[in-house]
């Protein structure tokens, strides 16, 4: 069963705008990761946030984690055409080393 | 470093045929995974391996078998393909030993079963 669910399923914005995607999960986690998948390609790791962290930055990416609401958000600032991709969240738990994946948000950046 | 590679990239099978998907990684990773990705769904784990000679079932193992005879290779077999196995298959690897380690993915194999 899927642990993470992304919202929205699809998002289309103008280049230069900020894009925000959300991920909700159901059980306790020890970390949450975000991955990007360009069309027809494999997934690429973007950022990991641990359960004891509330916010993390990497370049134009900002991730927040609210364990009380069991949710995370990924913000991409100053979007570019190259950011067009699907974005997936994946959660990790103490009980094992597997990741549980959400269904993804498809982001389209319009020039 | 090539990272994680998968062969073939595309394949069309008829119902009942068999095939093997090959995954290779050159990062000396202990853990390897096979996922399937279907439209509108996240990745679902088929089988995984925590080291050479070991394999274990994931969330959706039925209809698939795996082998990890060498540390760098992880094979996924379909003994008798069914249309429900039409999907994109991804192999991934990582250092393992905890869920904190990022996974590295191959480019995928697009399989169609007619």
Tell me the percentage of chain B whose pLDDT exceeds 70. Answer: 100
Predicted confidence (pLDDT) per residue in A11-63, tens digit: 999 999 999 999 999 989 999 999 999 998 999 999 999 999 999 999 999 99
> Which of A26, A58, A65 has its CA nearest to residue A44?
A58
Closest residue in chain B to residue A9, using alpha carbons only: B40
> Which of A35, A108, A73, A104 has its CA nearest to residue B41?
A104
Contact A97 B31 (CB under 8 A): yes
The alpha carbon of residue A106 is apart from the nearest alpha carbon of chain B, in Å, by 10
Q: Are A25 and B89 in contact (CB under 8 A)?
A: no
| For residue B8, cis peptide bond before it (omega within 30 degrees of 0) | yes
- Return the pLDDT at A47: 97
Contact B99 A92 (CB under 8 A): yes
Cβ-based contacts under 8 A for chains A and B: 66
Residues of chain B in contact with residue A1, where contact means CB-CB under 8 angstroms, are 59
B2 pLDDT more than 60: yes
Contact A101 B42 (CB under 8 A): yes
Mean pLDDT value across residues B41-57: 94
Contact B102 A88 (CB under 8 A): no
- Return the pLDDT at B29: 96
Contact A30 B99 (CB under 8 A): yes
pLDDT band at A1 (very low <50, low <70, confident <90, very high): very low
Which range scores top for mean pLDDT: A2-11, A42-51, B95-104? Answer: A42-51
Contact B105 A104 (CB under 8 A): no
Partner A contacted by B40 (CB < 8 A): yes
Mean pLDDT value across residues A88-99: 86
Partner B contacted by A80 (CB < 8 A): no
Count helices and strands in chain B by DSSP H and E runs: 0, 11
């Amino acid at each position: 069963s899927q642990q993470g669910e992304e919202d929205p399923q699809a998002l289309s914005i103008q280049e230069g705008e900020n894009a925000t995607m959300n991920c909700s999960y159901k059980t306790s986690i020890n970390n949450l990761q975000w991955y990007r998948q360009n069309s027809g390609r494999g997934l690429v790791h973007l950022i990991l946030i641990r359960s004891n962290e509330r916010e993390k930055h990497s370049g134009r990416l900002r991730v927040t984690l609210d364990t009380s609401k069991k949710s995370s958000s990924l913000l991409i600032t100053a979007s570019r055409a190259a950011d067009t991709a699907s974005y997936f969240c994946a959660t990790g738990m103490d009980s094992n080393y597997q990741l549980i994946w959400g269904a993804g948000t498809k982001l389209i950046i319009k020039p | 470093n090539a990272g994680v590679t998968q062969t073939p990239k595309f394949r069309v099978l008829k119902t009942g045929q068999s095939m093997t998907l090959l995954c290779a990684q050159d990062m000396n990773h202990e853990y390897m995974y096979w996922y399937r990705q279907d439209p509108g769904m996240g990745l679902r784990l088929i089988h995984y391996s925590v080291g050479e000679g070991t394999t274990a079932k994931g969330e959706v193992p039925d209809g698939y078998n795996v082998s990890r005879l060498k540390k760098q290779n992880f094979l996924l077999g379909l003994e008798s393909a069914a249309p429900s196995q039409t999907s994109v298959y991804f192999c991934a690897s990582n250092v393992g030993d905890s869920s904190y380690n990022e996974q590295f993915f191959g480019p995928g194999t697009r399989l169609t079963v007619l």
